[in-house]
């Protein structure tokens, strides 16, 4: 492409994946991480998660306000690190998940985000219909609360039988859920991640076309999911080029091509397109982030005008 990618997308970084020490919201160096991303003008957006220390949270909000970054809030770690499930068939357990997501809306607002993203939980075939209904209840309640703050709610589509084993899930089922949500709530959308598409046994073209009316946010990354015996098998978001990985420059190029063909290049109101990459074992986070930039730069350069 002759035009800059920044014309059509807000290129972002999921800070708590690239620098995973803050996954539980307790990284003592969180301010250094936020400043590192804020100083890098390659990024137009940053995705943050919970910051338990009120003083550090207030300082983070100040940094983000000064930076002019688009701020997104990922509530997934609030659920995953605590073992909470937004579609738990036990109502008391479902309410626990809903409560932390409500708190996430408040925290996201304090950090300057316009919404939150979360994920559905594990499920069992014999109670799938009940779990679906429970997820609708949680999401509708969450959207109701977010609406009072003029904020949005996004559900991220995950694998349904490998790692996270979330009920949402394959693209047709995600489309069904989004359609049900949009009948009552216009502040709901879906987030898709290139890393998860191989894990749902689908293709970018199929996923984007199936979910097109509901897509509001994109992630790109890698996953090892072809062979369960491979190192790092599952939803680990390894760097591009990792042995056994499903995604690299060619797959990022194809994803961009699909987004372009389906009308998601929006110069007036660009979508957020964030790297979801994570260091494996003792890899240096900064090197993993540089890797991702190079892959996206190359894929963009190869994309047809």
Each residue's pLDDT tens digit, 25-52: 999 999 999 999 999 999 999 999 999 9
d(CA 10, CA 267): 10
Predicted TM-score (pTM) of this structure = 0.97
Low-confidence ranges of the chain (pLDDT < 50): none
Q: Provide the pLDDT for residue 155.
A: 98
pLDDT digits (tens, 9 = 90+) for 121-131: 999 999 999 99
Are the C-beta atoms of residues 177 and 136 closer than 8 Å to each other? yes
Beta bridge partners of 245: none
Of 114, 112, 51, the C-alpha closest to 77 is: 51
Number of C-alpha atoms within 13 angstroms, CB side, residue 161?
6
- Compute CA 31 distance to the chain's CA centroid, rounded to the nearest angstrom: 21
Q: At a CB cut-off of 8 Å and minimum separation 6, what does 104 contact?
A: 50, 73, 75, 78, 116, 118
d(CA 223, CA 202): 14
Q: Provide the pLDDT for residue 298.
A: 98
CATH of the domain at 201: 3.20.20.150
d(CA 168, CA 89): 15
Domain range spanning residue 170? 5-302
Q: What are phi and psi of 290, to 5 degrees?
A: -60, -40
Are the C-beta atoms of residues 18 and 275 closer than 8 Å to each other? yes
DSSP 249: H
Q: What are phi and psi of 158, to 5 degrees?
A: -120, 180
Q: Give the C-alpha distances (Å, rounded to integers) separating 1 from 60, 262, 274, 302.
A: 35, 16, 19, 7
Q: At a CB cut-off of 8 Å and minimum separation 6, what does 112 contact?
A: 61, 64, 65, 71
Of 127, 38, 135, 28, the C-alpha closest to 79 is: 135
**Domain total in the chain:** 1
Residue ranges of E strands in the chain: 9-14, 45-48, 70-74, 115-119, 152-156, 188-193, 215-220, 271-275
d(CA 214, CA 282): 38
Are the C-beta atoms of residues 2 and 60 closer than 8 Å to each other? no
d(CA 168, CA 122): 9
């Amino acid at each position: 492409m002759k035009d800059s990618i920044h014309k059509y997308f807000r290129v972002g970084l999921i800070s708590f994946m690239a620098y995973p020490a803050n996954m539980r919201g307790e990284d003592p160096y969180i301010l250094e991480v936020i400043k590192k991303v804020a100083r890098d003008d390659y990024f137009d957006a940053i995705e943050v998660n919970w910051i338990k220390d009120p003083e550090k949270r207030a300082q983070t909000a100040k940094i983000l306000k000064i930076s002019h970054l688009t701020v997104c809030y990922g509530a997934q770690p609030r659920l995953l690190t605590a073992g909470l499930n937004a579609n738990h068939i036990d109502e008391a357990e479902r309410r626990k998940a809903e409560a932390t997501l409500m708190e996430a809306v408040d925290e996201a607002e304090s950090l300057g985000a316009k919404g939150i993203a979360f994920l559905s939980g594990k499920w069992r075939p014999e109670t799938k219909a009940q779990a679906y209904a429970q997820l609708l209840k949680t999401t509708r309640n969450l959207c109701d609360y977010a609406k009072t703050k003029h904020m949005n709610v996004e559900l991220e589509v995950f694998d349904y039988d490998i790692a996270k084993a979330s009920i949402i899930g394959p693209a047709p089922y995600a489309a069904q859920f989004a359609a049900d949500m949009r009948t009552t709530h216009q502040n709901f959308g879906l987030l898709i991640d290139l890393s998860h598409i191989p894990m749902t046994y689908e293709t970018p073209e199929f996923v984007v076309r199936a979910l097109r009316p509901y897509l509001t946010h994109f992630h790109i990354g890698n996953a090892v999911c072809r062979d369960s015996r491979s190192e790092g098998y599952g939803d680990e978001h390894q760097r591009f080029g990792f042995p056994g990985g499903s995604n690299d420059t060619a797959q990022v190029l194809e994803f961009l091509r699909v987004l372009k063909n389906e009308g998601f290049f929006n110069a007036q109101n660009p979508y957020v397109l964030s790297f979801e990459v994570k260091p494996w074992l003792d890899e240096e986070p900064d090197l993993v982030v540089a890797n991702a930039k190079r892959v996206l730069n190359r894929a963009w350069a190869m994309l047809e005008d």
